[in-house]
Structure 1
Amino acid sequence: MRSGAEAWLGIDLGTQGVRALLATVDGTVVGSGSAPLRHGRREGARHEQEPGEWWEAVCAAARQALPAGCRVSGLAVCGTSGTVLLTDPAGKPLGPALMYDDGRAGAEAAGLREDGLAVQDSWALPKVLWLLANGGGKVTHQPDVINARLAGHPVPTDSSHALKTAYDLGRDAWPEIPGVPADALPDVVRPGTRLGEVCPAAAEATGIPAGTPVIAGMTDGCAAQIASGALRPGAWNSVLGTTLVLKGAAAEPVHDPAGVVYNHRAPDGGWLPGGASSAGAGVLAARFPGADPAALDARAAAFEPSNAVAYPLVSPGERFPFRRPDATALLLGDPVSDADLWAALLQGVGFVERLCLDYLHHLGAPLDGPLTFTGGAARSAYWNQLRADILGRPARVPRQTEPALGMAALAAHGTGAAPTLADAADRMVHVRTVLDPRPDRTARFTEPYARLLDGLQARGWLPGPVAAHARARLEGNTAGS
C-alpha cells in the first residue's frame, strides 16, 4: 500500500488460530497474517485454552499483517461467543478459559432454566457459575484479555460478548444473577466504543503503532455478519461451516419465548437476531472422511431430490430451529449409493436452513432483504445453487467473508470513517456472485421438505405450530410474508 494510506485492522480469535487482516475504507485487503493455537485442552466435556497463547498468536499475526509504511487508523477484536474466564483486578487471567463448547456446566444451565432463564448449555452464564463455584475473580470474555493487553489496562467488555452472560441489552444493564456477585461482573459498552489506545509495550510486541485506537468489537458470528454486509433490516447472513448459523438485522428485537433465537445489539441501537444450529457441513467429513467434495458434488447432481431425506446433525442435540438436547441425526429412506447419500446430506442442510427461515418468519422476523451465503461451505458452487433452489430465493456470495474483515469495518465506523456500521460495511464488502433460484428445481424439493417436517413432528422435536407454519409456506419462498 502507498505510504501513509489509512487502513483498519481486524483481529479474529478463532478456535484453531488467530487471524489479522488490514483493509482500507473501500475493502481492499492490504495485509493479512495468521498464527495457530495449538495447546488447547480437549478431554471429554472439557475444552480449555490458555489466554497467554492468544496474546502470543495476536502478536505473530499482527506483525505479518502490517506492511511497512502503513497507517493503522484503528483496530477491533472478535472472539468466540460464550468463551469466558476469570481475571484478577488488574486483568491478569487466574486460569485457563472455558471455550464456547466446554460442556462441564450442564447442571448449572439446567438450574438456570428451572429458574426461568432461557439459556443454552454452551452459553457463558452457566460457565461463569461453574467457575465462580471453584474460585473468585472478575468475569472476563475472550477479546477483553487482548484489548487489555493492547491498551495496557483493564477495559470494559462489549455488550455482544456479554449477551450470553445474561447482560440485558434492552436495559443496557446487568440483571441480578443468583450466584454471581455484582462486583464480579465487568462494565459493559456498546460495540464500536473506543476503549483506549495501543500502549508502547503492546506496540513493541505486536508492531501495531502506539496510539492506535482500540475499538470494542463483537462476537465472531456478528463479525462474520458484518463481513457479509447483512446489516440493514430484513437482510440475513447464512454462515455454513461445521454447523449452520443464521444472523439478520431488524429494527426491533425478535422475541422468542423458547429461547431458540437471541438478539445482539448493533452499535447504532438496531438489533441483530439469529440462531445457531447443530446441523451443518461437519456431517460430510464425518460420513465421508478423506472424500473429494467436488467429485461427490458432481455425482450428487443426478439425485435431485435424493432417495433419502436427512436431518444432518453434526453431534447429538439441536439448538435451532428447535431446541431438543435429545435430537440425533435423522435419515428417512435408503440412499442407493454414496453419491445419493452425499446428495441427501447436502439437501438436508438446505432443508434445515429453510426450516430456520420458516421459524424466523413464524416469530415475525423481517426476511424481505437480501440473503448472503458465507462460511467454508460457500466455496462449493454446486451447494450454493442447491441451497438457493431449496430456499426459492436469490442469494449473494461476497468476495471476502472473514470475520477479521468485519472487525476492520467496525473499527472504521468506531473511529468515525463511516457514520454507521452499515455504511462502513457497504463500502468494504463486495459481492462476488449472485445466485438465482430455478423454479423447476425449487418445486422438486417441496415433497421431501414436507416429509422432513412430518418426521420431525412425529418424533416430538418440532412443535406443531412451527410445523404447520412451515407447511403453509411450502408453495412460496423464504423471503417474505
Structure 2
Amino acid sequence: MADRDEAAWLGIDLGTQSVRALLVTGDGTVLGSGSAPLAGRRDGVRHEQDPASWWDGLCAATRAALRGRTGTPVGGLALCGTSGTVLLTDGAGHPTSPALMYDDARATQQAARARGAGLAVQDTWALPKALWLTETHGPGRITHQPDLMVLLLTGALPPADSSHALKTGYDLERGAWPDALARLGLPDEAVPDVVPPGTRLGEVSTSAADATGIPAGTPVIAGMTDGCAAQIASAALRPGAWNSVLGTTLVLKGASLTPVRDPSGVVYNHRAPDGSWLPGGASSVGAGVLTAAFPGADPAVMDERAAAHEPSGAVTYPLVSPGERFPFLAPGATSLVLGEPESDADLWAGLLQGVAFAERLCLDYLHHLGAPVDGPLTFTGGAARSPYWNQLRADVLGRPARVPRQTEPAQGMAALAAYGTGAAPALTDAAEAMVRLGPPVEPRPGHTARFAEPYARLVDELMARGWLPPPVAAHAHARLDDGDTADS
C-alpha cells in the first residue's frame, strides 16, 4: 500500500449522463480529472443504458484523470453508481439483459408483489426491476452497476457492496438477504454475496490496466451509491450532519448513530463502514424543472431577475417527473402552481423557491420521525454552483449551510478508497482531510419570515390533495408557528 503522504486515490462516479474520475491526494488536492459522456434510452417510464458504455466511459475518464499524475502512486480506487440501477449477468459476469436505470418505473406490479411479501420497497427500486428482468429475460445473477465494472477491473465477479444492495432488498440490520426473495422467485444463486463498503475486492488486472491507464495491482475497494458518495464528498458523516444534493432531483443524506424508523418507507437507511447509519430520501423535485420550463435560458441572468420576486407570486411544487417519493409517498402526485406568476422571472423565482420549500419539508419530515437534524448542513450537486439559489435555500430553511469546494461524488469515492486501503483510521477522518468547505451561507435577516406564508400555503395544499399526511403537515405548521428553523 502506498504511503498516505505520497499517494493519491482514484474515485470513479458512474452517473446518468457521464462517467467522472478524480485523482485526489489525502489533503484534497485534485491531481487529475476526466469525464466521458453516457447515453441512455428513454421511452415513457422506461430508462435503459447499454452496460458496455459504462466500461468505455470508465476507460476514457480514468485515462484522462491519470494523464498528469507524474509518477504519483495510486493508492486505491472505489466506484459509485446510480442507486437502483440493475441488470442480469450469467455465471461468468456477461450481461444477459439491458441495464434498467435508477428511475425506470416499469416494474410497478413487481413492486406491489414485493410489498405484499412484506418488503418495504418503492416502485423504482432495484428489487422490482430485478424481478421484471428475471420474468422477461430469464434467470440470471442480479448485478449492480459497479459490480460489473469491478469484474472488468479485477477479472473476478465481486460481491456487491451493501449500499448498492439496499434497494435490491438486502437487510442491513440483519446483514442478510430476506427469506421473501425466494418466495418472489429469486433463488439464492440469483443474488450476490454482500460486503460492507470499504472492503477490498481485488486488484486491477494487467489487461484492465492497459485499457484504463490505472496501474496494475491497484487495490479496488467496495464503494457506495452516488448519493452516499456525495455525502462523503461533503464530509457530512458525524451524527446530526446533513448533505442536501440538488441536481436534476433533490436528495438528502444524513448521519445518525441509530436507524431512522419510517413505516412508510419514504426514509431509508444506508450503513456506513463503521456501522453507523446514513438515513435519507430522494425527492422528485429539483433543478430539472428549470431546463424543462426554460430551455436555453442563462441561469445566472434568470437568478438575477428572480431576486426581485421574494416571495414569488406563484407557489410551486416543481416535480421533475410525475410521482413523489420524499418527503411523502404519492405515486399520483403532479407538479402544481398556485397563483399566477407575473413574468418569466417571477416563475423562475417560484420554481427556485418551490424546491427550497420541498427541501424544508424534507427536513421537517425528518424531524417528525425523530432524526437528528441539528448538525451542520452542506449543499452539493449542480445547483450548488448558483450563489443566489444557495442564499435563497439558506433563507427558506432559516439555517446556515456550506458548499464544499469540490462537490463531486467521485471525491467521496477517493476518500472511501483511502479508508479502505488503511490510509485513514476512519472514513470520517479521510473525508474531513480531503474536503475543503467554503464560507458559511448565512440566512439574511428577515428573509426567512418572508417565506413563512407561502410555505404554509404549500403545506396545506399538499395535504388537501391527499399527498401529505395530516400529522406531517401539522408538524410542519407547529415548527413554523413556534418560529423553529429547520435545524431546531
TM-score of the superposed pair, with normalisation by structure 1: 0.97
Confirm whether residue 94 of structure 1 aligns to residue 70 of structure 2. no
* TM alignment of 1:435-446, pairs within 5 A: 435-446=441-452
Deviations 1:160-215 (A, max 9, x none): 00000000000111111121111111000000000011111111111111111100
What is the rounded CA distance, in whole Å, between the counterparts of 2:386 and 2:60 in structure 1?
31
2:306 to 282, 300, 305: 300
Post-superposition shift, 1:97? 1.1
Confirm whether residue 316 of structure 1 aligns to residue 317 of structure 2. no
What letter corresponds to residue 137 of structure 1 in structure 2?
A: G
Post-superposition shift, 1:325? 0.7
Aligned to 1:46: 46
1:291 to 283, 294, 297: 297
Q: Secondary structure at the match of 1:263?
A: strand
What letter corresponds to residue 170 of structure 2 in structure 1?
A: Y
Aligned to 1:148: 151
Post-superposition shift, 1:61? 1.1
What is the rounded CA distance, in whole Å, between the counterparts of 1:314 and 1:8 in structure 2?
35
Q: List alignment gaps of at least 5 residues for structure 1.
A: none
Q: Secondary structure at the match of 2:115?
A: helix
* TM alignment of 1:236-251, pairs within 5 A: 236-251=242-257
Deviations 1:387-442 (A, max 9, x none): 00100000001100101000000000001111111110100000123111123001
* TM alignment of 1:320-469, pairs within 5 A: 320-469=326-475
What is the rounded CA distance, in whole Å, between the counterparts of 1:41 and 1:244 in structure 2?
22
Post-superposition shift, 1:346? 0.9
Aligned to 2:486: 478
Confirm whether residue 24 of structure 1 aligns to residue 25 of structure 2. yes
* TM alignment of 1:203-222, pairs within 5 A: 203-222=209-228
What is the rounded CA distance, in whole Å, between the counterparts of 2:44 and 2:317 in structure 1?
25
Q: Is the 1:236–1:249 contact (alpha carbons within 8 Å) kept by the matching residues of 2?
A: yes
What is the rounded CA distance, in whole Å, between the counterparts of 1:17 and 1:292 in structure 2?
22
Aligned to 1:196: 202
Q: Secondary structure at the match of 2:374?
A: coil
Q: Secondary structure at the match of 2:143?
A: strand
- Let me know the Cα RMSD of the aligned residues: 1.1
Q: Is the 1:152–1:199 contact (alpha carbons within 8 Å) kept by the matching residues of 2?
A: yes
What is the rounded CA distance, in whole Å, between the counterparts of 1:52 and 1:296 in structure 2?
39
2:190 to 174, 179, 184: 184
Post-superposition shift, 1:112? 1.9
Q: Is the 2:261–2:369 contact (alpha carbons within 8 Å) kept by the matching residues of 1?
A: yes
What is the rounded CA distance, in whole Å, between the counterparts of 2:212 and 2:314 in structure 1?
52
What is the rounded CA distance, in whole Å, between the counterparts of 1:102 and 1:335 in structure 2?
33
Q: Is the 2:97–2:133 contact (alpha carbons within 8 Å) kept by the matching residues of 1?
A: no
Deviations 1:241-287 (A, max 9, x none): 11111000000010100000000000000100000101111111111
* TM alignment of 1:271-286, pairs within 5 A: 271-286=277-292
Q: Secondary structure at the match of 2:403?
A: strand
Aligned to 2:132: 130
What is the rounded CA distance, in whole Å, between the counterparts of 2:460 and 2:41 in structure 1?
41
What is the rounded CA distance, in whole Å, between the counterparts of 2:59 and 2:307 in structure 1?
45
What is the rounded CA distance, in whole Å, between the counterparts of 2:127 and 2:204 in structure 1?
30
Confirm whether residue 57 of structure 1 aligns to residue 48 of structure 2. no
Post-superposition shift, 1:335? 1.3
Q: Is the 1:392–1:439 contact (alpha carbons within 8 Å) kept by the matching residues of 2?
A: no
Moved more, 403-412 or 145-154: 145-154
Post-superposition shift, 1:114? 3.1
What is the rounded CA distance, in whole Å, between the counterparts of 2:116 and 2:257 in structure 1?
31
Aligned to 1:14: 15
What is the rounded CA distance, in whole Å, between the counterparts of 2:152 and 2:321 in structure 1?
36
Deviations 1:284-343 (A, max 9, x none): 111111112111211111111112211111111100000001111111111111111111
Show structure 1 runs of 4+ deviating over 6 A: none
Q: Percent of aligned positions with the same letter in both sequences?
A: 74
Post-superposition shift, 1:106? 1.4
Post-superposition shift, 1:41? 2.3
Q: Is the 1:20–1:404 contact (alpha carbons within 8 Å) kept by the matching residues of 2?
A: yes
Q: List alignment gaps of at least 5 residues for structure 2.
A: none
Confirm whether residue 69 of structure 1 aligns to residue 75 of structure 2. no
What is the rounded CA distance, in whole Å, between the counterparts of 1:105 and 1:461 in structure 2?
22
Confirm whether residue 269 of structure 1 aligns to residue 304 of structure 2. no
Deviations 1:49-86 (A, max 9, x none): 22222112111111111133121000001111111111
Q: Secondary structure at the match of 1:12?
A: strand
Q: Secondary structure at the match of 1:435?
A: coil
What is the rounded CA distance, in whole Å, between the counterparts of 1:153 and 1:117 in structure 2?
31
What is the rounded CA distance, in whole Å, between the counterparts of 1:95 and 1:348 in structure 2?
39
Q: Is the 1:62–1:208 contact (alpha carbons within 8 Å) kept by the matching residues of 2?
A: yes
What is the rounded CA distance, in whole Å, between the counterparts of 2:49 and 2:285 in structure 1?
25
Count of aligned pairs between the two proteins: 476
Q: Is the 1:25–1:427 contact (alpha carbons within 8 Å) kept by the matching residues of 2?
A: yes
